[in-house]
Structure 1
Amino acid sequence: MMDRSEYLPRVYDNVLKRRVAFKGAVLVEGAKWCGKTTTCEQLAHSVLYMADPAAQAENLVLADAQPGFLLEGENPRLIDEWQISPQLWDAVRFEVDRRRDFGQFILIGSSVPADSSRMFHTGTAA
């Protein structure tokens, strides 16, 4: 995680802060290397980097077997590159519904499409 004293504020900071304050989870998508993770890290209180080479294999196993373990951490919990394991989408949705609180998760995904066959909920409220 970047030292917050080195961070240059962005226009999106206030937008993200407001959205996280009034939603259980927020999805931030965009091209690689555009600053999504760096921006979201400023607001996050805990981070899961799904693409971290040192932990990726373990993260994938946990995402399949016990995704709730990956969601544990101080809120808002940032899950970077969530689309590597699309079943996290349903796990996050379930936790948001169960906890009934705002500011729980920030999901970051690059423009790589998720395998939607492994997701059961669209993410839209009924």
Structure 2
Amino acid sequence: MYIGIGPQDLLDDLNTMGFLFENLCIRDLRIYADFLDGNIYHYRDKNGLECDAVIHLRNGSYGLIEIKLGGDTAIEEAVKSLKKLENKIDTTRMKKPSFLLILCATAPYAYKRKDGIYVVPITKLKP
């Protein structure tokens, strides 16, 4: 499909660029999840709390993933969202998430924050 936009169009409309980037990340995550015999889901509750991707493996383990283009502000928003969702999970009824991850476009390297949340550029994902 040809949508007729160029790089400058995307830079001028970061909202659209973010949607396209999220879609591409979900595509890649589906490939990696399939390799691990898992699935990718989107989570959204009645209060509007959402998670861009939940990777769920057959053994019951899962991880919560927020997808952002990058930047400190966006990463901090993603951290708040992930923590809010993690705190909402009733661990007497289901397992705690195996990991919390912010998948981004722009980061110089992958790292684990002091709060345990991973920040990983899409270019560092490998099966």
- Normalised TM-score (structure 1): 0.29
Q: Which has the higher contact order (CA 8 A, sep 6+)?
A: 1
Structure with max Cα Rg: 2
Greater share of strand: 2
TM-score between the two structures when normalised by the length of structure 2 = 0.29
